[in-house]
A = this chain, B = another copy of it.
Amino acid sequence: MTGTKHLGRQTVRFESPPSILSAASVVGKKEGEGPLKDRFDILASDTKFGQDTWEKAESQMQTLALQEALKKADLSYASVDMLFGGDLLNQCIGTSFAARGTDIPFLGLYGACSTMGESLSLAAMAVEGGYAEYAAAMTSSHFASAERQYRTPLEYGGQRTPTAQWTVTGAGAVILGQAGTPPFVRGFTSGKVVDLDVADANNMGAAMAPAFVDTVLAHFRDTGKRPSDYDLIVSGDLGQVGLDLARDLLSREGLDLGNRLGDCGTMIYDREAQDVHAGGSGCGCSAVVFAGHLLKLLETGKLKHLLFCPTGALLSPVSTQQGQSIPAICHAVAVSSEGGCL
């Protein structure tokens, strides 16, 4: 079997593509006022989700997303053999504390905002390999917990630069199993860490764009596919600045993706009306756009072949203070309304 599943250096092709059985999205107030407001399962009027801290609120979003996704699939905690998840908080407490109540074997991940791609890849691998009957992939971010951890306390009222992105308050959960029904995860391309020496922590789109391009090129190289094989190639959260850069970098490689190229960070907010500068970001951004919006496009036939490419900036406040540039990564997952090989 070895050699056929493993395509080129970075790409895995599933011989028996696992199914996405269900997905759920939970968002905060601002996301519930944006262009995708009708696509999410749970919209909070209280962005603290009934908790007394922002960090607990973030965990609570994950709990709600996982419970809702399981309900849709008519499954319970006890059915899930592996839970792959992560978030942006130090020591990933958003996810660990959400996993605490579930009794599901837990594999914690850290890929910054690429984590939804990483968790989907590994959950699909566990299911296709027969290592788990059902697996879950789950990530979150929260504007208020992220701001005070990465930048300044909200009360400080710091000015944001035009290249800055707005961390999405949201959590997404996806349940995978070997059901034979669409949508299918047909394969994935794991990213390398790419660092083109961007050091501005307020311009993570610029830091992540080269990682997105690197993974997309690797995907085409490994699979022999072309852009026209996909209806949509969507980056995680490059925002408008990073998306423009990615388009430019791709065109230098001879790839014009045109309308096939999109970005979760530019989809989730009305950038002008909602004052989010370059767009949305955070582990929760690609998670809720995927779980709430993109999967529905696949289910209703508006999309047939999707390359979902969450992007992550692997910096920390300490690495920035120490003068380091920003390493970035992008994990691409091929999701389709048809089965069959990549």
CB pair A130 B2 closer than 8 Å: yes
Bound CA span A196–B327, Å: 38
Q: How far is the CA of A230 from the CA of B78 in the complex (A)?
A: 29
Interface residues of A in 90-114 (CB under 8 A from B): 90-93, 96-97, 99-100, 102-112
Across the interface, A6 reaches (CB within 8 A) one of B4, B9, B132, namely B132
A329 to B102, CA, bound (A): 13
Name which residue of chain B comes closest to A312, CB basis.
B108
Q: Is the pair B106, A329 in contact by a Cβ cutoff of 8 Å?
A: yes
Query: Which residue of B96, B132, B195, B314 is within 8 Å of A327 (Cβ)?
Result: B96
A117 nearest CB across to chain B (Å): 10
State whether B315 touches A91 (Cβ < 8 A): yes
| Distance A177 CA – B109 CA, assembled complex (angstroms) | 23
The distance from the CB of A177 to the nearest CB of chain B, in whole angstroms, is 10
Across the two chains, which residue of chain B brings its CB closest to A145?
Answer: B318
A339 within 8 A of B: no
Interface string of A101-136 (1 = CB under 8 A from B): 011111111111000001001100110111111000
**Is B314 a contact partner of A105 (Cβ separation < 8 A)?**
no
- Told that A2-B178, A6-B133, A125-B126 touch, could you supply 8 new A-B pairs with CB distance under 8 A? A6-B131, A55-B319, A88-B91, A105-B190, A108-B111, A108-B118, A125-B131, A129-B131
